[in-house]
Amino acid sequence: MTSIHRLLTVGCVLVGLMVLVSTISAFFSPSIQAALMIPATPGNRLNTNTAMTASVLAQDTFQRNNQRLWGTASDGQTWGGNANSSQSFAIDGQTGFVGNVQGVFDAILGPRTTDADVTFSGSLTFFGNGSSNIGSLLRWMDTNNWYKAYLDGTQLILLKKVAGNLTRLNVVVFPTQSNKEYTLRFRVVGSMLMAKAWLTDQAEPSTWMVTANDTSLTAGFGGLRVVVQKGVVARIHMFTEMVAR
């Protein structure tokens, strides 16, 4: 009889504990659940769009109607240099057109900066053993002070012009064909200049093809420099300048 009494007592105690635990859980579970479901603070999230666009200094896709001169780029900035003053410039077939007359032409876009990375794609109807060429500019101050990376039909060349004097900094063999679209990437960080080029429909090379070290120019603008003979046309399909990090 005593054993039965003890079992009944223990059973009652266990039932009481179960009721107590259930009551406590019911009371606190909404708070616990709410705490677990608190969303991440928006201010702590990485805004990838902002992170990407913050590093773009200038950009033009040339996707606009035919017109004389290059006008306003797709990023809303106005082209400078010869691009909005020389009648050799136009938008034609959603490309930046330069040519039909002999000359040397600069097209400048974006703010003054120090370390930058320019990429453009374009073509020439005729290279003519180097008499015509297409290239990009960095640290451009005026027509007499700049760095340039360009294709002349047989080579990829790094060139500087300081106080009107031209100096070839480095060169690598890179044969190109007329009427083929190439992409050229030019980067200047500190005193280091580097460039690479490839057919636009192929993959970007993993390493820089040509490099040089020079301290003559420390800041300036980015853009393009085109040298064409009479009857030769350059077409630029895209241009982007980024902050080099």
Instruction: Verify that 193 and 227 share a domain, yes or no.
Output: yes
| pLDDT (average), residues 161-175 | 99
Neighbours of 48 (CB within 10 A): 8
* pLDDT of 96 above 80: yes
Q: Is 46 domain-assigned? A: no
CA 171 – CA 69 distance, rounded (Å): 32
With contact defined as beta carbons under 8 Å apart, do 229 and 104 qualify? no
Stretch among 27-36, 150-159, 231-240 having the lowest mean pLDDT: 27-36
Do 28 and 76 share a domain, yes or no?
Answer: no
Q: Are residues 157 and 235 in the same domain?
A: yes
pLDDT surpasses 90 at 231 = yes
If one counts the domains in the chain, the total is: 2
Residue 104, in any domain of the structure: yes
Per cent of the chain over pLDDT 90 is 76
The reply to whether 152 and 201 lie within a common domain is: yes
pLDDT tens-digit series, residues 2-58: 444 444 444 444 444 444 434 444 444 444 333 333 333 333 323 323 333 569 999
What is the pLDDT, as a whole number, of residue 134?
98
Q: What is the pLDDT of residues 127-146, one digit of tens each?
A: 988 899 999 999 999 999 99
What is the model's pLDDT at position 129? 84
Please tell me the predicted confidence (pLDDT) of residue 100.
86
Tell whether 10 and 92 lie within a shared domain.
no
Residue 58 belongs to some domain of the structure: yes
182: pLDDT strictly greater than 70: yes
- Structural domain boundaries enclosing 24: 1-40
Q: Which residue has the higher pLDDT, 104 or 43?
A: 104
pLDDT at residue number 53: 56
3-class SS string, the chain: CHHHHHHHHHHHHHHHHHHHHHHHHHHHHHHHHHHHCCCCCHHHCCCHHHHHHCCEEEEECCCCCCEECCCECCCCCECEECCCCCCCEEECCCCEEEECCCEEEEEEEEEEECCEEEEEEEEECCCCCCCCEEEEEEEEEECCEEEEEEECCCEEEEEEEECCEEEEEEEEECCCCCCCCEEEEEEEECCEEEEEEEECCCCCCCCCCEEEECCCCCCEEEEEEEEECCCCEEEEEEEEEEECC
The CATH number of the domain holding residue 146 is 2.60.120.560
Query: For 97-121, what is the mean pLDDT?
Result: 97
Read off the pLDDT band of 193 (50, 70, 90).
very high
Identify the pLDDT of residue 37: 34
End-to-end CA separation in angstroms for the chain: 87
Statement to judge: residues 99 and 191 lie in one domain: yes
For range 72-98, the mean pLDDT: 98
pLDDT at 99 over 90: yes
Mean pLDDT, range 177-190, rounded to an integer: 98
Q: What is the pTM of this model?
A: 0.78
Instruction: Single out the residue of 107, 209, 199, 206 nearest to residue 156, CA to CA.
Output: 209
Residue 151 near residue 79 (C-beta atoms within 8 A)? no
